[in-house]
Each structure stands twice: as structure tokens, then as C-alpha cells.
């Protein structure tokens, strides 16, 4: 299987994760013009599962290093299988709430609040479990990211007040999603031998196997979570599975593409975690907030016609985010 043995390459993989995790929401925005997000979400989940299967039988099965996917799956302990599976269930609950927050509040708000909070809490959780990297630099970087999150929230509130469209529901859902999102990564990481991908401890899994089981957890739990959401949506009238199967091919393809993009980022991030450590790898990946904010501000124009002073807040937000990410990267050296 393919293994990352260089910290610089691990950082590159984490930056690709950042791009993927910060960009998949665009597919929801595109599909949302004609498609309920509850229906979009099924295609998104299918995309994540498809990518995990392709990755497992390609990068996870070829090469002289490590265990191949099938061999690794057969030897995995049930406790580790359940750990990765539960990680998928937790992620799915968080991501459904997060997707709802995007639909209600927009990318430039949902990403900084939900994913920003998940970054701060998630790094703490993962660093406590595996203390790899300079703690002072790492948490200084997280502090700068937290300031950026606050600046974004202030900018959104000023914009909303000026338009008289304050969405308390969107912010609350984003906060709940962020808290849940901060825990899923630890369950996947716990199922792997992060110290030795070359010869993992018996019963532990490689990243490719862990990602597959994690994706199965997302897919199976979606029959419960998303079925409830279809019948009792956060916004609008209830929809149905009949409506899902009436969707156009291109519409379904947009959601699957979103899942493939997120799945690529997730796989590269966990592959990088062996060299960078879970806290740094997760923290850099969740810098996706910066990418999503850029999409929301410059492409989707979510802050167009905003009152005076908003641009200064957004500029400061980006500066703090970038500075925080640099410290997180340097902490790994």
C-alpha cells in the first residue's frame, strides 16, 4: 500500500484535504438550486463510500509496503472495526446538521462556526490521545484560528442585523455540528496503528481499511438519520424517497461528486496522520474553513452589499487563519 514517509509530503496531503473539505460544499450549493439538501445528502454519502472502496483496492492494495486491504480487513479486531464504524456514525450525525447549517446560514457562516469549533476541540482531543508535535506552537495556532472564528461570527451578525435576517437557528445548528464533528476523527485514529503503517500491530488497521469501515458507518447510519430528516426537515416541507428517485442524473452526479471530493480529503488526511500526528493532520485539514469562507465571500457573494466595516473584519479573519495554520504546520517540525 502507499505510505507517506516524509513530513513535507504529509503537509501537502493535509493542504489537499483542506481544499477538498473546504470545497465540497459548493456541490451542495449547486444542487440546492433545484434539489433538497436531504436528497443531495444521500448522493454525497454514496460518493464517500465509493471513494473508500476505490482507494482500498488501489492505493490500499498495491505496493510492497504494509498490509493489503483484504488481508488487513480479515485480521482486524472487532474493537477496532467498531471504533472506525462509530466514528462514521458520529461524523454522519454531525455532517447532517452541518449540511443543514449551510442551507440555512450559508457557507461563509456554517464553515467558520461549525468546522472552526470542530478544529479547536478536535485538536485538543487528538493531541491528548497522541501527543505529537510542539504543544506551544500547536495551541498558539489554534488560538489564532479561534480569533478568526470570532471575527467571522461578528461580521455575519453585523450583516444579518443590517438585513434584518438574523438566523439564530443556523448558528445553533452550526455549534452542535461542530461539537459532534470534533470527536469523529479520534475514533478512526484509535482503530489504526499511527506509529507504524509499514507493519501495523496485530488487530489494528491501515488508513485504507479504517476509511472503508468509517464510510460503511456513515452509509448505514444514514438510513436512520437522513430518513428522519426527510420526514422532519429543518426547513421546508417533508420530502420522500420517491422524490429522490425522480432526480435527474446530473443532479445525482453533483452530490456523488461532493462525496468523492470529501472522501479524497479524508483519505489523504489519515494517510498523512502517520507522519504528522493526528492533532496536526486534523488541525490542518480543518483549515478548510478558510477555503470555504473564500468560496462564500468571493464566489457566492454571501457578504455582498454588507455594511461598512465588514470587509475589514473578513480581512482580519483571513490573516488570523493563515497565521494560525502556519504555526500548526511548524509545530509538527
The residues that bridge with 192 in the sheet, in sequence order, are 205
What are the pLDDT digits (tens) for 23-40? 988 998 888 878 888 999
Which of 210, 236, 239 lies closest to 227 in space, CA to CA? 239
Torsion of CA 295, 90, 37, 291, to 10 degrees: 0
What are the pLDDT digits (tens) for 280-299? 998 888 877 778 778 877 87
Dist. CA 19–CA 91, nearest whole Å: 19
Distance in Å from the first CA to the final CA of the chain = 25
pLDDT of residue 166: 47
DSSP string spanning 130-177?
S--S-HHHHHHHHHHHHHHHHHHHHHHHHHHHHHT---HHHHHHHHHH
| Burial class (CB within 10 angstroms; exposed 0-12, middle 13-18, buried 19+) of 130 | middle
Output the pTM of the full model: 0.89
Question: Is-contact 86 187, C-beta < 8 A?
Answer: yes
H/E stretch holding 262 reads helix 249-276
Q: What are the respective helix, strand and coil percentages of the chain, to the nearest 5?
A: 75, 0, 25
Residue spans of the domains in the chain: they are: 7-331
User: One digit per residue, pLDDT tens: the chain, 333 residues?
Assistant: 999 999 999 999 999 999 999 898 899 888 887 888 899 999 999 999 999 999 999 999 998 888 999 999 999 999 999 999 999 999 999 989 987 887 777 666 776 778 778 888 998 999 998 888 899 999 999 899 888 878 877 777 676 655 545 467 888 888 899 999 999 999 999 999 998 998 899 999 999 999 999 999 999 999 999 999 999 988 789 999 999 999 999 999 999 999 999 999 999 999 999 999 999 998 888 877 778 778 877 877 777 777 778 889 888 988 998 899 889 889 987
pLDDT of residue 106: 67
| Chain center to CA of 146 | 17
pLDDT of residue 167: 61
CA max distance for the chain: 61
Amino acid at each position: 500500500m502507499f505510505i507517506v514517509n516524509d513530513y513535507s509530503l504529509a503537509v501537502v496531503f493535509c493542504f489537499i484535504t483542506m481544499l477538498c473539505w473546504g470545497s465540497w460544499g459548493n456541490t451542495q450549493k449547486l444542487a440546492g438550486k433545484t434539489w433538497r439538501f436531504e436528497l443531495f445528502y444521500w448522493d454525497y454519502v454514496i460518493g464517500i463510500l465509493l471513494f473508500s472502496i476505490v482507494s482500498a483496492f488501489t492505493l490500499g492494495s498495491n505496493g510492497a509496503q504494509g498490509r493489503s486491504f483484504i488481508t488487513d480487513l480479515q485480521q482486524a479486531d472487532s474493537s477496532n472495526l467498531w471504533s472506525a464504524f462509530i466514528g462514521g456514525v458520529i461524523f454522519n450525525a454531525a455532517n447532517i446538521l452541518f449540511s443543514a447549517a449551510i442551507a440555512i446560514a450559508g457557507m461563509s457562516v456554517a464553515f467558520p462556526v461549525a468546522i472552526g469549533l470542530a478544529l479547536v476541540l478536535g485538536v485538543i482531543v487528538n493531541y491528548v490521545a497522541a501527543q505529537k508535535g510542539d504543544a506551544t506552537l500547536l495551541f498558539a495556532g489554534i488560538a489564532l484560528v479561534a480569533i478568526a472564528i470570532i471575527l467571522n461570527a461578528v461580521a455575519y451578525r453585523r450583516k444579518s442585523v443590517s438585513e434584518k435576517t438574523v438566523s439564530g437557528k443556523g448558528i445553533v445548528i452550526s455549534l452542535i455540528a461542530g461539537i459532534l464533528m470534533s470527536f469523529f476523527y479520534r475514533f478512526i485514529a484509535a482503530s489504526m496503528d499511527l506509529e507504524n503503517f509499514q507493519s501495523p500491530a496485530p488487530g489494528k488497521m491501515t488508513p485504507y481499511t479504517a476509511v472503508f469501515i468509517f464510510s460503511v458507518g456513515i452509509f448505514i447510519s444514514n438510513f436512520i438519520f437522513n430518513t428522519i430528516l426527510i420526514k422532519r426537515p429543518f426547513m421546508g416541507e417533508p420530502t420522500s424517497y420517491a422524490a429522490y428517485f425522480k432526480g435527474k442524473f446530473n443532479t445525482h452526479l453533483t452530490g456523488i461528486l461532493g462525496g468523492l471530493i470529501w472522501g479524497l480529503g479524508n483519505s489523504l488526511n489519515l494517510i498523512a496522520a502517520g507522519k504528522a500526528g493526528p492533532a496536526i493532520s486534523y488541525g490542518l485539514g480543518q483549515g478548510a474553513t478558510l477555503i470555504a469562507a473564500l468560496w462564500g465571500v468571493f464566489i457566492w457573494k454571501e457578504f455582498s452589499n454588507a455594511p461598512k466595516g465588514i470587509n475589514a473584519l473578513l480581512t482580519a479573519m483571513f490573516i488570523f487563519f493563515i497565521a494560525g495554520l502556519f504555526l500548526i504546520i511548524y509545530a509538527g517540525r
